[in-house]
Amino acid sequence: MNKRFEGKIVAITGGSEGIGLATAKAFIAEGARVYITGRRQDRLDAAVAELGEAAVGIQGDVANLGDLDRLYDRIRQDHGKLDVLFANAGTADSDSLPLDDITEQDFERIFGVNVRGLLFSVQKALPLLGAGSAVVLNGSVAGSKGFPGQSLYNATKAAVRSFARSWTADLKERGIRVNVVAPGGTETQLMRGYLDTRPGAEEMFNQLIPLGRMGRTEEVADAVLFLASSQGSYIAGAELVVDGGLVAV
């Protein structure tokens, strides 16, 4: 296998399951040392055990700035630098949340993780990121679509897309590339739980997707690694959609 990340230091927020965990596996397979975060210590411990010696788990929530400081302090102490940041951590409501029903608490919770948490995940990493480093933000096709009952989540992912554009302009002189990976429906544990409790939902999703199936976490991971690697060296401020053609068709 091509070792595109041999000797590289990678941080992944929300890396204890789903897309984050699959991406951590992919980076490690290509030679990286990976630091992952997760809110639940038990899941984080299980993920590190699965990933092996090349992984370090730091318990924390991206909505807590002190937890982010602990992550980057550890990386600074261990290596003094960071080559790739995958700002992956995010949250969503499993149930519909129509405009009439949105509360202040709903807003603070979803924007607190998906926008505020992501912003400070990147800002606090900047002292460790040098020329040639890469930041990949986890967006969503929801940033381009008006899915009903999900306006808060949709809006947070539109903000993520905008961040990539603005931060590319902000960081161009430092040689730090920023891009977005935008998954569609992806076969994660959270998504599987949603589908299994709603008869007919999976069939409906598959009918909407031109390729006729949900995405796999490994497929999203491949896109992240491409954007973070030298193969993506001339890609900046872009959104790579991984959705089986849902948005385009």
Burial of 169 (0-12, 13-18, 19+ CB in 10 A): exposed
User: Cβ of 152: how many Cβ atoms within 10 Å?
Assistant: 18
If we measure between CA atoms, which residue out of 14, 7, 9, 39 comes closest to residue 217?
Answer: 14
3-state secondary structure of 232: helix
| C-alpha to C-alpha distances, 26 to 29, 113, 218, 224, nearest whole angstrom | 5, 25, 8, 9
Distance CA 223, CA 184 (A): 13
Active site members? 153
Q: Cβ(55)–Cβ(34) under 8 Å?
A: yes
The token pair that represents 183 in the structure block: 């998954």
